[in-house]
Structure 1
Amino acid sequence: MTVESSGTEPMWLVAANVVRWRRYGDGGQELRPGTKSYRGGAKVYVVDSYPGMAHEQVTTIGRARTGRWITVDTGSRHLHTFRAKLAYAPAVRRRAEAIGVRPRSREEAEKLAGLLERLAAEYRETHHGAPHPTPCLCHACLVTPG
């Protein structure tokens, strides 16, 4: 069996996971699981970012809470563990190609993943500008002991 040239080859994309819990509401004193579109821990592929907004918003492709594939813009602060990953799922490749995602090399995907990881951590820390609730289950508090 041969691989056709109709987009059936895997694409290098940036993958990430949705935070299990996110801060919400006035001063970030409430916690909500995942995001409105994605369950906490869901794997998503980042297919676009908005340089004018300093990568604060990114376009993602992933399985929605309903189990269907969706393409949605989300705050990068709601994602973590950015990494370069080959996307094999035909649904991901079709959606990425439909919005004009150009193929990138592994090195380009790794570089973008590193940038997004740093920026997302910064956005999580500065977004609410208020102390965390006690106890706090947000991503920053879960991965930082103490």
Structure 2
Amino acid sequence: MTAESVTPQPVTPELLWLVAANVVRWRRYGDGGQKLRPGTKSYRGGAKVYVVDTYPGMGHEQVTTIGRARTGRWITVDTGSRHLHTFRAKQVFAPAVLRRADSIAVRPQTREEAQELAALLERLAATYRETHHGAPHPTPCLCHTCLVTPG
């Protein structure tokens, strides 16, 4: 018997299709959204995260995400969908994401389901970003909406 036949192989969870998104570079906060902060408390601006759950009763305003924290460690955090952008369907290969998703019993979805959810979240997040503060943007403004909208 060789050492190779005795060593157990690590179990890798099945590959998943999830919705990936990026954290906004700057977000509005404070009275009337007149101040700006980079990223979120947990994530740096531009960080890639995976959406593993939504809260349909709340209109998808809050989502559960898996991503690399500001410290570099993998975390699972609930965050406002308005703080995310560029939602897209991605097949997940990262073992850390697969383990975390498996531990919270993420429902497997097809590529098409992930694409539909990504499109829905993209529309809703844009609406939430515009309506959350209900006040004009500060001048100059670096929020995601102002950065991607010309003029």
Q: Normalized against structure 2, the TM-score is what? A: 0.92
SS in 1 for 2:27: strand
Q: 1:25: Cα distance to partner?
A: 0.4
The one of 67, 70, 78 equivalent to 1:65 is 70
Amino acid of the structure 2 residue aligned with 1:31: L
Unaligned runs of 5+ residues in structure 1 are none
SS in 1 for 2:145: helix
Paired with 1:137 and 1:113, the residues of 2 have a C-alpha distance of 24
- Asked if residue 91 in structure 1 is aligned to residue 96 in structure 2, the reply is yes
The one of 50, 53, 56 equivalent to 2:58 is 53
The one of 21, 28, 32 equivalent to 1:23 is 28
Paired with 1:88 and 1:63, the residues of 2 have a C-alpha distance of 15
The one of 3, 19, 25 equivalent to 1:14 is 19
Paired with 1:74 and 1:8, the residues of 2 have a C-alpha distance of 25
Q: Normalized against structure 1, the TM-score is what? A: 0.95
Paired with 1:93 and 1:104, the residues of 2 have a C-alpha distance of 14
Give the % identical residues: 84
- Asked if residue 81 in structure 1 is aligned to residue 98 in structure 2, the reply is no
Amino acid of the structure 1 residue aligned with 2:101: A
Aligned length: 142
SS in 1 for 2:135: coil
Q: 1:103: Cα distance to partner?
A: 1.0
Q: Which has the larger radius of gyration?
A: 2
Q: Do the aligned partners of 1:9 and 1:88 also contact (CA within 8 Å) in 2?
A: no
Amino acid of the structure 1 residue aligned with 2:15: P
Partner of 2:5: none
Amino acid of the structure 1 residue aligned with 2:23: V
Paired with 1:141 and 1:10, the residues of 2 have a C-alpha distance of 36
